[in-house]
Amino acid sequence: MSSESFDNIRFFKKGHIELHFPALRKNDSRLSKKQAAELTRVANSRESLENNFIKIVPLYRRIFSDGKNIVQTMLPTSPYAYGGVMVTAIGESLLSNEGNERSDDIIETKMIFNLDQEVKREYYKQILACIQIEEDINLPQRDAGSNVVAYENNMASISNEKYRLPRTISLPHAHIIKGGDWFDEEKLPQHPYGFKLERQFLQNYDLFTRFKNSWFDLLQQGASGESLKIPQLQIRNESPYGYTIDCNMDRSQSIDEQAQYLSQILTSHHEAYSIFSQEEINQSDEIRQLRRQEFAKEKGISLHKGRPLKEKLILQPSYRIYIYYDQSKLKISISPIFFACVGALEAMDVAVDRSIDHEQHFTDSDLQMFFEKFTVRLKETLEQSSQYEG
C-alpha cells in the first residue's frame, strides 16, 4: 500500500476551542438521554424552528420562486468559533401554510439529499462562498492562512431517547469555521466509549476498497442518471478518520461549476453509501447468525435469535462531511458514523468550551465589522454568480 493511498491533512490544532460566550447553557453531557431527547424535541418544534431560522435577519437568504424552499447563510444558533457562520436549507415541511399546522408539531428530519437539485446546488454554492470569504478576510490580529472547513453531521436522525446524537436540528445545515489562536492544546476532548474502536474500524483498508469499488461501479454505470468525473479517493490516516474525495476541481473555477459538481458527487456518494452500509450490515447479520447456529449445533444447545446488528448501530446512512480547499484543490472528507455518537467537530479531536469567563479575544465592534464585511462580500459573490448563471 503506497503512501499515496493516505490523506494525512489535519484541519485544526487538537484541543478545546475556548469561546467567550455570554449565554450560559447547561452542559448537555450531564443530561440523561431522556432529558437530551426532550430538549431536542422542543428545539425542533415548528414554533422554535420558525423563531430561530425564519423570523430572523440572515446574512444572506435566497427564497425560491415556488415559495417552498429557502437557503440562507446566518449566524449560528450556537457559535463554534469566532467569525463562524452557518448555511441552512429550509424545505416545504416548515414553510407549508395549509392552516392546520400546530406550533408544537415536530418537523421531520431531512438531509440535503432529500431536497430538489436546484436547492442542493444553492446550498453548496453558499457553503463554498462562505469558505472562500472566510479564507480571504480576517478578524483583527487574526493569523491569515488558517484553515477553513465546512462541516455537517449528515445523519438520518436527530437525538432521541435511544441515542444522544450530534445532530440536534432537523433542517439540513453546515457550519463554516476558521482556525484561530484560541485552542487549548493541553486539554484534549473526552470521547465516549466505542469511539476508539470505531476509529480503528474506519481505518480498515479492505472495507474502504470495497466501498470505493462499489461506488465507482455505480458511477461508471451512470446509476444517478448523470455523467460524472470519477474522483480520487484516499483513506484518512488522521482525524477525522474515514476517507477523502479529491474533486479534481480548483478554487479558481467558477463557484457554480464547483457547487454543481459537489451536489452531484455528494448525491451519488450518498446513494452508494446508503446501499453499501445496508448490504454490509445485512451480510454481517447473516454471518453472525450462521456462526451462532454452528456453535449451537456443535454444543448441542439451543440459542435464542440474536439481536440484529442494525438495531445496535446508529440509524443509517449517517456520516460526517467536511468540505475544504487543500492548496486550492476542492476536497471532501467523509467520516462514517456507526456506533459512536461523536459530532463532526469532536471527530477532529476538537471540542468547544463556551463560557462567559473565557478571554474575550474580540470586541463586539470587531465582530460586527467582520460580519458586515463578510455580508457585503457574500452578496457580491452570490449575485455575481447568479448573473453569470443567467
Which pLDDT does position 390 carry in this prediction? 42
Cα 9 to Cα 182, 184, 202, 324: the distances in Å are: 20, 20, 16, 11
316 CB-contact burial (10 Å; exposed 0-12 / middle 13-18 / buried 19+):
buried
Which pLDDT does position 1 carry in this prediction? 45
Which pLDDT does position 143 carry in this prediction? 61
Which pLDDT does position 300 carry in this prediction? 72
Q: State CA 355 to chain mean position distance.
A: 24
Cα–Cα nearest to 319, from 259, 270, 247, 267: 270
Cell of 215: 461506488
214: left (phi over 0), alpha (psi -120 to 50) or beta: alpha
SS (H, E, C) 4-34: HHEECCCCCCCEEEEEECCCCCCCHHHCCHH
CA angle at residue 356 from 38 to 33, to 5 degrees? 20
Separate counts of helices (H) and strands (E) for the chain: 8, 13
Q: Which helix (H) or strand (E) holds 249?
A: strand 243-250
Q: Strand runs (DSSP E) across 110-158, as ranges? A: 148-154
The DSSP annotation for 37-90 comes to HHHHHHHTBHHHHIIIIISS--SEEEE-TTSS-EEEEE--SS-SSTT-EEEEEE
Cell of 242: 474515514
**Cβ-contact 228, 264 below 8 angstroms:** yes
Cα–Cα nearest to 272, from 253, 245, 298, 251: 245
Which pLDDT does position 3 carry in this prediction? 44
Which pLDDT does position 228 carry in this prediction? 80
Give 156's DSSP letter: S
Which pLDDT does position 107 carry in this prediction? 80
Q: What is the pTM of this model?
A: 0.90
The tens digit of pLDDT for each residue in 114-156 reads 999 999 999 999 999 999 999 999 888 766 668 999 999 998 8
Which pLDDT does position 103 carry in this prediction? 67
Which pLDDT does position 328 carry in this prediction? 95
The pLDDT averaged over each successive group of 10 residues in the chain (390 residues) is: 70 85 56 78 90 96 92 94 95 71 75 94 98 92 79 87 81 92 71 80 89 90 68 92 95 96 95 91 72 70 70 84 96 92 90 85 92 97 70
